[in-house]
Structure 1
Amino acid sequence: MPRPDHHRRRLLAAAAGAALAAPLAAFAERYPSHPLRLVVPFPPGGPTDIVARPLARQLGDALGQSVVVENRGGAGGSVAADAVAKSPADGYTLIVATVGTHAINPSLYRQLPYDPVRDFTPIGLVANAPVAIVVPASSSVRTLAELVAQAKAAPEKLPYGSAGNGTPGHLTGALFESAAGLKLTHVPYKGSAPAVTDLLGGQIPLMFDPVQSVLPHIAAGKLRALAVSSRQRAAVLPGVPTVAESGYPGFETTAWWAVFAPARLPAEVAARLAQEVERIARSPEFAQALGNLGVHPAPEGPAALAAYQKAEIGKWARAVQGAGVTLD
């Protein structure tokens, strides 16, 4: 039989727990009471906007409050990610995180001002897009096997372009070099647009870049896609094989977008946001809003996102190490 003092302590502990839970429950009931900020860690007009704007519109409808998209570029998305990490954990500031901000940057930058796991609450994965391996339509290379043969015949002689050091295109190229046992020469550009311009003009013979950047030129017959880096073929390029089915089983990389909040978000608020974000990501309206640009819905809840992020951090760390690139 428990002693009276022990019983009294248990009652006091239970009362204290109930006292703490009551304000949280009340907070969750009236959440949200004013507009939310959805931070995009890049300037307007990029692929992250393709995901963020329909998501903000639908999330606002679901919550009964406007969700304002705030574009905040700088340092590969790190400026925005750091600002969100340091924001109040009240459910009113969210970020559309990318594979860069929450998987690549920890290995790429020597001094990252935030921890992509410890400083955030995962809400949900919402979309992804494969990297395409493309050549000019005039190129004699028609398959990935032919590209590999050409590269192995002249090690380090074949250049490939990307949107810049540490981007998904660059690091997918580095992972492919490792998988295929070859050496290419990386040519970094300041964004996809100038790299695609040089590819179309014949200044470079090859490029690795997320499919949405090169898709219009593939559709116009100016570029040829040799393969895509996703596990399954891209719906917008059904005739293009994956790298995995081209002789490299298990090869997979994607650019991806997910919603995170600052760490220590109240559980009730996190659950509400996760429920709404996953429902939106599964909706036909969201898929239609993404359009036929190569960005696909990829709905996953908080637990699946956390596990996926952990695996992605490890995979991209190996890619960064293989590429031998770090940024200040």
Structure 2
Amino acid sequence: MDTTDIRILSAGSALPGPPVGNAALARRFHMDATWETWVNVFIGTHTRHLAVDLDSGEITSSLADLGETAARRALERGGLDAAEIDLMVLATATPDALMPATVNVIADRLGIDGVPTYQLQSGCAGAVQALDVARSLLTSGDARTALVIGGDSCAKHFDLGADLTRLSPAELVNVVLFGDGAGAVVLTSRPARDTVALRRVLNRLTGRGRPPGQVVEWYGRADRHPGRPAVTEDYKAVEESVPLLAAEILKELLDDLGWSAVDVDYLLPPQLSGTMTARIVAGLNLPAAEEITCVRQTGNTGNALPFLQLERALAEMTTGDRALGIAVESSKWIKAGFALEKV
């Protein structure tokens, strides 16, 4: 069976709490107006949703909470119930625990049992990797309908007591760059009219010999070191590499499909930050494509973002429309992307 037979039936998403603006972050961390201006201009992200209460420090949503909500919405929009799901895949860089796997917690809450489940540990490319795994299993004929979830919750890494004036740029950027959220899609190999076909999925490691662009630590009781930050970001390396990798992904997808730049009606670009996304889109030069971007409002929600974009794309695409999604994993440099066509 060709990948053109795999259809996206529906999508859903979940964001925790109300949006948190840059002014609210500045007040919480006692930063001046200059810092807020720096965030607005340099990062270009205006709000984000956080699974932690900034006043009390209470965790308000787990990844399982967000994943369950997104999945329920996707199932409802697809007119499906739990008994119709043949397999589940979750992509995340921030599981609730090492064990049990968060995918199985979500499955239990949804009433899904007796099916294969997979959890992929990955950053921004994880959502595409999850699509790739589900697509491959559906194509093999062993399953007919898959629930694919992507999400991240950075709340456990949010240090409300941090003195931001003492943080290095590699740590400071993470305070404003990221948000929390989850997204889900339902894929099927069953014939379905008026749906979006998943034409191609690209997933390729390109990080041999390259230092990581991002590191997220996992501390155990025996290996905690006060001087080792939980999350660091080599923003300069990301800034230099992601636009180039995005262009390579675009070219490879277009060449593989035999599409030209003017054939693309919708572009789902990488969602690192508002400023970076704008730069990437300008460099890709797809004059006929409508950009689907949400990072300025949601922050970088990691594995949730491609599904947040997909949710919007599914609502807007009409018969014959084509869309390309591009994601770059900076932690160890993965090129990822996918192609859609409304049929």
Query: Fold match, TM over 0.5?
Result: no
Name which one, 1 or 2, has greater alpha-carbon Rg. 1
Structure number with higher helix proportion: 1
State the TM-score, normalizing by the size of structure 2.
0.27
TM-score (norm 1): 0.28
